[in-house]
Amino acid sequence: MAAQTDTYTALVNQPLGQKIAAALGLPQPAVLRRYEPGQRLVEGSVLVLGDGHAADEAAAVLLDWDLDVRRQPSPSDRFSAVIACYDNVVAPGDLSATTLHLGSVQRQLGPSARVITVFRDPAGTDRPATRAARQGVEGMTRSLAHEMRRGGTANGIILGQDIALSAPGAVGALRFLLSARSAFVSGQFIPVGTDGGSRPADWERPLAGKVAVVTGAARGIGAAIAETLHRDGATIVGVDVPAAGEALAGVVNRLSGTALQLDITAPDAGRRILAHCAERHGRMDIVVHNAGITRDKKLANMDAARWDAVMAVNIESQLAMNREFLAASGQGVASDGLRIAALASTSGIAGNAGQTNYAASKAGVMGMVAATARLMAGVGIGGDEGGGTINAVAPGFIETEMTARIPLATREVGRRLNSLQQGGQPVDVAEAIAFLVSDAAGGTSGHTLRVCGQGLMGA
């Protein structure tokens, strides 16, 4: 599952290519640091800035992970990451000290460095000045993400009103954003709204003992998700259409999982998945709604077949299956702390010519996730520390068969027009999904996380 680098990125990372690109002012995408089992969480020192509780909590968590933590930088230090804590800001004037401090160490950051801001939910206050300050951190973080170089990223953790950075979900988000698992996530925020979830016994195998259903697992992003969840310890149930049966068998056999040939638009799809999990594995802990299709046409040329097929596969099937899963949760097969993740798309956020049907379905996924989170926090499923969660991931430009079909010139623009100046890999989406379905993300629900290198183009 080694991540591949596109030809241009490989070229500009050779000495001669680097010189030519620099001389011509061409983009110089870096080879991103990606996760490998056994890898160090970060290579070098981590600087913690800020003077509220969160900074002390961050330092304690990082020390617990045996990292080299600094609170006061010296000019000769080199950092792999900076955690900038703004949890105590009450007015815009409070932003400057920590922010300028952060700016003063920018040139001391190594390759694939991480900047992580920590602040409280802007919507959690009625005070205009406090909300302005908190929201100001968002704007600053997004701009800094555009300014990061050499594969570096900047992201934020948004803490709910009474949530400490030492809460399990906040610790999980911190670790994901620090790690190479978040290589293609930049300019994004992970809200931690509850103190649900738990720290895994083993951070290398956070899904040990879980049974995970992945739809559309025969190829592309779905196959990468199946491989990544398996690497993290889960037993895989791969679902795909009968026509993809051979490819599906190839994927699940490699992962010692089981295959279920099924069109997810079938009215009994949810029930058949539950029955398969009951019979073959005795449980179902994780569902990843990955299967999706495009049928692109400008709206003036759109026909009912294209519109209806995209809506049926991309959103209506997910709604129908979730109804079955929620009804069954806590009653045998579907675990009480069920974790659901769904594939949205940056098309559903920014829109894309020729994709009214696809964007409607993917924006629909984001809405579905937000509303279902509230259902899952209710009785039966969720509601306590073992509660269920549902989140979405919105990939931007990812190097797959789907994007390989885009005409070359458009594809090249799509690749370069983001802060990391390259397309993402299927594994980048898979890493975000693996995090969101883990118990370490138990404090986050109803959220859509973009995996797009801070670009908005892509299928």
Instruction: Give the catalytic positions in this structure.
Output: 358
Enumerate residues 313-372 that contact ligand NAD by CB under 6 A: 313, 343, 345
User: Which range in 74-82, 182-190, 257-265, 372-380 contacts ligand NAD by CB under 6 A?
Assistant: 257-265
Beta-carbon contacts of residue 288 (< 8 Å; ≥ 6 apart): 212, 213, 214, 215, 222, 225, 229, 340, 341, 342, 343, 433, 437
Q: Which of 191, 292, 382, 442 binds ligand NAD (CB under 6 A)?
A: 292
Q: How far apart are CA 85 and CA 55, in angstroms?
A: 6
User: Which range in 111-119, 333-341, 366-374, 400-408 contacts ligand NAD by CB under 6 A?
Assistant: 400-408
CB of 365 to ligand NAD, least distance (A): 8
CB of 193 to ligand NAD, least distance (A): 25
Q: Which of 401, 407, 408, 409 binds ligand NAD (CB under 6 A)?
A: 401
Q: Give DSSP secondary structure letters for 219-237.
A: SHHHHHHHHHHHHTTPEEE
| Residue 388 engages ligand NAD in binding (rule: CB under 6 A) | no
| Residue 218 engages ligand NAD in binding (rule: CB under 6 A) | yes
Beta-carbon contacts of residue 422 (< 8 Å; ≥ 6 apart): 5, 6, 9, 29, 32, 415, 416, 453
Joined tokens for residue 196:
């649900």
CB of 5 to ligand NAD, least distance (A): 16
- Using only the alpha carbons of the chain, give its radius of gyration: 22
CB of 394 to ligand NAD, least distance (A): 7
Enumerate residues 220-249 that contact ligand NAD by CB under 6 A: 220-222, 240-241, 244
CB of 83 to ligand NAD, least distance (A): 30
User: Which range in 38-46, 288-296, 327-335, 372-380 contacts ligand NAD by CB under 6 A?
Assistant: 288-296
Total count of residues recorded for the chain: 459
Q: How far apart are CA 201 and CA 215, in angstroms?
A: 28
Q: Which of 55, 368, 398, 434 binds ligand NAD (CB under 6 A)?
A: 398
Joined tokens for residue 219:
């190829």
| Residue 454 engages ligand NAD in binding (rule: CB under 6 A) | no
70 vs 416, beta carbon nearer ligand NAD: 416
84 vs 217, beta carbon nearer ligand NAD: 217
Size of the site for ligand NAD (CB under 6 A): 29
How many Cβ atoms are within 10 Å of 269's Cβ, its own excluded? Answer: 20
| Residue 387 engages ligand NAD in binding (rule: CB under 6 A) | no
CB of 411 to ligand NAD, least distance (A): 11
Joined tokens for residue 360:
């409607």
CB of 62 to ligand NAD, least distance (A): 33
Residue that has been written with the tokens 């195998």 in this structure: 205
| Residue 455 engages ligand NAD in binding (rule: CB under 6 A) | no
Nearest to 405 by CA among 296, 268, 282, 250: 296
Q: Which of 132, 164, 327, 402 binds ligand NAD (CB under 6 A)?
A: 402
Nearest to 187 by CA among 228, 152, 156: 156
Q: Which of 28, 106, 108, 265 binds ligand NAD (CB under 6 A)?
A: 265
Provide the H-helix boundaries in 261-355.
Answer: 269-280, 304-311, 317-328, 347-350
237 vs 264, beta carbon nearer ligand NAD: 264
Site string for ligand NAD, 176-215 (x = CB under 6 A): ---------------------------------------x
Joined tokens for residue 254:
């490699």
Q: How far apart are CA 53 and CA 86, in angstroms?
A: 10
| Residue 9 engages ligand NAD in binding (rule: CB under 6 A) | no
| Residue 310 engages ligand NAD in binding (rule: CB under 6 A) | no
Q: What is the DSSP letter of 316?
A: I
372 vs 400, beta carbon nearer ligand NAD: 400
Judge contact between 135 and 122, C-beta under 8 A: yes
Judge contact between 374 and 326, C-beta under 8 A: no
Q: How far apart are CA 415 and CA 55, in angstroms?
A: 36
Side-chain-facing half-sphere of 198: CA atoms under 13 Å? 11
CB of 69 to ligand NAD, least distance (A): 37
377 vs 430, beta carbon nearer ligand NAD: 430
| Residue 259 engages ligand NAD in binding (rule: CB under 6 A) | no
Joined tokens for residue 384:
């306590």
86 vs 325, beta carbon nearer ligand NAD: 325
CB of 404 to ligand NAD, least distance (A): 9
Enumerate residues 33-62 that contact ligand NAD by CB under 6 A: none
Distances 341 to 102, 286, 435 between C-alpha atoms, Å: 34, 8, 10
Q: Which residues bind ligand NAD (CB under 6 A)?
A: 215-216, 218-222, 240-241, 244, 263-265, 290-293, 313, 343, 345, 395, 397-398, 400-403, 458-459
